[in-house]
Chain A
Amino acid sequence: MRNVTCQALVNLYADSRFVFMTGDLGFMALEPLQKAMGHDFVNAGVAEQNMVSVAAGIASGGLQCWVYSIAPFLYARPFEQIRNDVCLHDFDVKLVGNGGGYAYGSMGSTHHALEDYGALLTLQNMRIFVPAFSEDVTVLVKKMGSWRGPVYLRLGRCEKPKDFCLPNYAPWRRLLSGDGDVLIVTGPLVGGFVEIMGQMDSTHRPELWVLSELPILPSDVPVELIQAIITKQQVCVVEEHVAQGGVGQMFAHFILSTRLPVQRFLHFHAKGYLSGLYGSQAFHRKECGIDAQGVLEAIRQPHE
C-alpha cells in the first residue's frame, strides 16, 4: 500500500499544496513524492515528537501537513503531541502509519501496532481510515486531502485475491453474501477471508462485511447490514488490534445502543504474544485466532 499511497500523494500535490514530513522512513517508497514536492518534502529525522509539533505549527500557519512513519513510531512516541498540538486545536494534520497490526512480523514487537486506532480514537477530532485493499488507498488519500482536521491512515499489505471483483469504496462494504452469521472485518486481514469464503457455497458461509472508517458513526451503518443483523442475530467482528478500544467494542456499543436483537456476539482480536514466541504476521494472526481459517472454524462451533 505504501507505493500506492505515494502515487496518490503525488497526484494530490499536483492539485493542492501541502507539506509532507517523514521520520526518516520511506526508503524505496517515497522517493517519487520527494522528487515531486521539493522543499515541501521534509525528512524531520528520527524525532517524532518534534515532527508532530512542527506539523501542527505548519498546519496552524495555513498549509495541510502530512506526517509519515511506521505505525508504532507514529502514534505511541508522540502521543502527547498528537493530543495537545494537533487534536486539541483540530489542526489539519494527516498521520500516515505504515504496518498496522502485526504487519512487521518478525521484526519484533516494538514494530507492531496493536493499539493504534483504539488509542487515537480517544482523542477529540480524530478520524481513522483503515484501507483494506490498495484500491482503497487512492480514494482515502483524496478524501483525507479534502478533509480539514486530523486523520490517521493505517496502512498494511494488500491481501486481495487476484480475481476478486472489489466493490467501489465505501466506509462499509458487503464483500460476500451468505446465509450464515454477519462477519465484520477491519483492514487488510479481510483478504484472507475473501480467499477462503469465495470458494464456499453461499448457503454455508457468513455474510462478509469490511469496515474502513472509524469511529463507527450510526448514520454510516448501512441499512442492509442492520437488516442482516436483525435477520441473523449473530455477529462476529475480527480485527488486528487489541480488544480494548477496538472495532468489536465499538460495534457492541452500537448494537446495544440501537437495541439490535443479537443472540450471539463473537469478537476475534489481537492478543499480544501469547506464547512468547515471534514470527511473521501470519504466525501472530494464527496464534491469536484472527486468521481467516481460525475464525471460520470457531464460528462453526455450536452456540454455547
Chain B
Amino acid sequence: MTRMNMIQAINSAMEVMMARDPAVVVLGEDVGYFGGVFRATAGLQKKFGKTRVFDTPITECGIIGVAIGMGAYGLRPVPEIQFADYIYPALDQLASEAARLRYRSAGEFTAPITIRSPFGGGIFGGQTHSQSPEGIFTHVSGIKTVIPSNPYDAKGLLIAAIEDNDPTLFFEPKRIYNGPFDGHYDHPVQPWAKHDGSEVPEEYYRIPLGTAKVVRAGEAVTILAYGTMIHVVSGVVAASGVDAEIIDLRTLIPLDIDTITASVEKTGRCMIVHEATRTSGFGAELAAQVQERCFHSLEAPIERVTGYDTPYPHSLEWAYFPGPVRIGEALKKILKD
C-alpha cells in the first residue's frame, strides 16, 4: 500500500495494465512525451515506448475512430479525451460505432476500448472545461459509464474498465484529482494523503463495474451521488449531523440498483446530487427507477440537486455548482415532514 492521489492512481492503473497486457495502448492529445495535461500518463511512454503510448492529432473523432480500428485489430486501446467538453466531435464514433459494433456484427467485431476523460467543474474552467456530459452517454445503449470518487476506486475501476470487452467511458472528476474537495471553495483543500481512499495497492486489483459503495450508512435519507459530489455531500452530512446514507454509484451503466433500492426502502427518502444539468440528466433516470421500485417506501418527494440547465458559467461558477448551501437546503426540505 502507498498513498496516491487520483492522478497517481489512474497512472498506476494504466501502468499495471500495460505491463500485464501487451495489447493495451494509450493514445490522445499530449499523452505521450509530455504525459498529459493533468499528468495522468506521465512516464508511460518512456516505459512502454512510442508505439504503445503516443500523442495524436487534435481530432477527437479521429482518436476514437482510430481506437475502434485498433480494437478491431486486437488491441485494447485506452484513448484520452483531454476534457469531457471536447468529446462531442467523437460522439458519432462513440454512440453509432463503438457502442453498436458488437450488436450490429452479432459479436464478430467488438470495441474493447476505455475512454478516459476529465470532467466536471469547480476549477474555473468556464463552459468548455467544466461540463458533465455523462447523461448523454448513459442514454446510448451499448456503452458503460464509470465515475470514480477516490484514488483507490479510480485504480480498481479503471483496471476493470480496461479489462472489459465493451466500450467504457471513464469520467475523471478533475476537481478532486489532488484532494477530496468538499465544496467550500473558500477553504484550503485537504490533500488525498489524509483521506482513507488514498491508500492504494501498487499492484493489480479490480473493482467490478456495476457495484456501488455505501460510503456512509444511515437511516434518515438516502443520498445518491458520484464523483466530486460524494465529498461535497459528505461534508454537508457531517456538518449537519443528519443520519444520511450516502451511496457512491461509481458506475452509472450498469447501475447497482439493488444497493439503491435496499437503502431507499430502509430510509424512505431519496436525494440525488449531480453536477450535470438537470433536465434529462442521470438524476432523472435515478428518480424514475427509485419511484418505480420504492414508491410505497417513499415518505417524501425525491429531491434533486444538480447543475442548472444553463451553460457552465465562469464568474458565477460557485452559484451553479451544487455546493454545500444548496445541498444543505435540499436536505432540510426532504427531512421536513
A and B part of one assembly: no
Residues of chain B at the chain A interface (Cβ within 8 Å)? none
